[in-house]
């Protein structure tokens, strides 16, 4: 078969008008069951294309121009057992994006089956509101049924869960390590209160007299001040070492170093 034959599209039914209906799952399951039953029984045209429903058109001849003059109702040929509605109202729409229906056979042949003329939304007819309400309640009750069950053990002493003799050594060391590891929990951080700016500057000068280089975390611990507040003061008083042996620490600017040394000399 050539490549042209593989992608041939049958268009003899391209102008055929078709309806597009949005069906509830209960209707789809009923039609699929009818199609499967017809395929497993006998042969012939009726069994190959089973009648699954009929559409009744009601027309108000006194007011034919009104939009509500034409009403569609679909009646199912057969329904599943239970409270499945048998009649449905079809709400017709004409204002939609133009669409066409395509099909593909088991042999891979593609065909254009027609263009969509009417689009319908389906809802239970008012005659079946009682059955539809019962069906909704059945669904709700089924969804509330718990599939998991709790089983009470007769032997509640835990004997069967204890390791048998000789099985203690089979426990992998990795499991013991996992059991020993405890994830550290961070306690709530205490809210630090800012001191006076000049008072903090004096404290920082005294700290730099003790040692020339300080990391930000060390200063937070020493002064018990908010980190952002300390950063503002350090930006004015210190230089941050980005590289070298004192990388990641602060040291006083040269002018403040000289002032500190002069103060020492005077003392």
- Structural domain boundaries, residue 229: 197-263
Instruction: Classify residue 1: in a domain, yes or no.
Output: no
Residues 140 and 201 both lie in one domain: no
How far is the C-alpha of 35 from the C-alpha of 39, rounded, in Å? 6
Distance of CA 66 to the CA centre of its chain: 45
Helix, strand, coil shares, percent, the chain, to 5: 40, 20, 40
- Say what the pLDDT of residue 14 is: 87
Cα–Cα–Cα angle for 91, 96, 101, rounded to 5 degrees: 90
28 plus 107 within the same structural domain: yes
pLDDT-wise least confident of 121-135, 164-178, 229-243: 164-178
Among 103, 128, 144, the domain boundary falls at 144
- Express as a percent the part of the chain with pLDDT over 90: 9
Domain count, the chain: 2
Helix 216-223 / helix 227-237 crossing angle, nearest 10 deg:
120
Q: Are 110 and 203 part of one and the same domain? A: no
The residue among 129, 144, 159 that closes a domain is 144
Q: Tell whether the model's pLDDT for residue 156 goes beyond 70.
A: no
Q: What is the pLDDT of residue 249?
A: 93
Q: What is the mean pLDDT of residues 137-157?
A: 73
**pLDDT score, position 193:** 84
Residue 22 has, within 13 A of its CA and on its CB side, a CA count of: 8
Q: Which of 144, 176, 210 is the last residue of a domain?
A: 144
- 74 belongs to a structural domain: yes
Residue 44: predicted pLDDT: 46
Do 123 and 229 have their domain in common? no
Dihedral over Cα of 123, 126, 132, 136: its sign:
positive
Same-domain status, 223 and 127:
no
Note the pTM of the prediction, 2 decimals: 0.38
The stretch 231-258 carries a mean pLDDT of 88
Under 8 Å CB-to-CB from 63, ≥6 apart: which residues? 69
Task: Tell whether 132 and 206 lie within a shared domain.
Answer: no
User: Is residue 234 pLDDT above 80, yes or no?
Assistant: yes
Do both 205 and 139 map to the same domain? no
Same domain, 15 and 115: yes
Per the listing, tokens 């590891």 go with 181
CATH number where 242 lies: 1.10.10.10
- What's the chain's average pLDDT? 76
For residues 21 and 139, membership in a common domain is answered with yes
- Which pLDDT score, from 0 to 100, does residue 130 have? 73
Q: How many CB atoms lie under 10 A from the CB of residue 86?
A: 17
Asked whether residue 154 is domain-assigned, the answer is no
State whether 201 and 134 are in the same domain: no
Residue 1's pLDDT is 46
91-123 in b/e form (b: 16+ CB < 10 A) is eeeeeeeeeebeeeeeeeeebbebeeeebbebe
In a domain? residue 87: yes
């Amino acid at each position: 078969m050539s490549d042209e034959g593989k992608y041939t599209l049958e268009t003899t039914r391209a102008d055929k008008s078709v309806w597009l209906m949005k069906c509830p799952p209960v209707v789809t399951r009923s039609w699929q069951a009818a199609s499967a039953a017809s395929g497993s029984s006998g042969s012939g045209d009726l069994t190959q294309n089973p009648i699954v429903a009929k559409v009744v058109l009601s027309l108000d001849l006194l007011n034919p121009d009104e939009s509500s003059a034409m009403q569609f109702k679909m009646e199912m040929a057969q329904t599943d057992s239970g409270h499945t509605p048998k009649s449905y109202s079809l709400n017709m729409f004409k204002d939609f994006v133009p669409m066409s229906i395509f099909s593909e056979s088991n042999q891979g042949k593609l065909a254009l089956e027609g263009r969509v003329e009417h689009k319908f939304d389906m809802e239970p007819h008012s005659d079946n509101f009682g059955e539809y309400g019962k069906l909704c309640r059945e669904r709700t009750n089924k969804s509330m049924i718990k599939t998991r069950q709790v089983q009470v053990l007769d032997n509640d002493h835990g004997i069967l869960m204890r390791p048998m003799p000789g099985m203690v050594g089979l426990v992998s060391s990795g499991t013991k390590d996992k059991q020993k590891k405890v994830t550290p929990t961070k306690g709530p951080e205490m809210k630090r209160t800012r001191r006076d700016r000049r008072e903090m500057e004096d404290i920082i000068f005294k700290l730099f007299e003790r040692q020339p280089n300080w990391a930000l975390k060390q200063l937070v611990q020493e002064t018990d001040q908010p980190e952002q507040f300390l950063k503002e003061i350090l930006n004015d008083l210190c230089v941050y070492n980005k590289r070298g042996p004192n990388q990641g620490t602060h040291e006083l600017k040269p002018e403040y170093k000289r002032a500190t040394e002069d103060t020492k000399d005077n003392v």
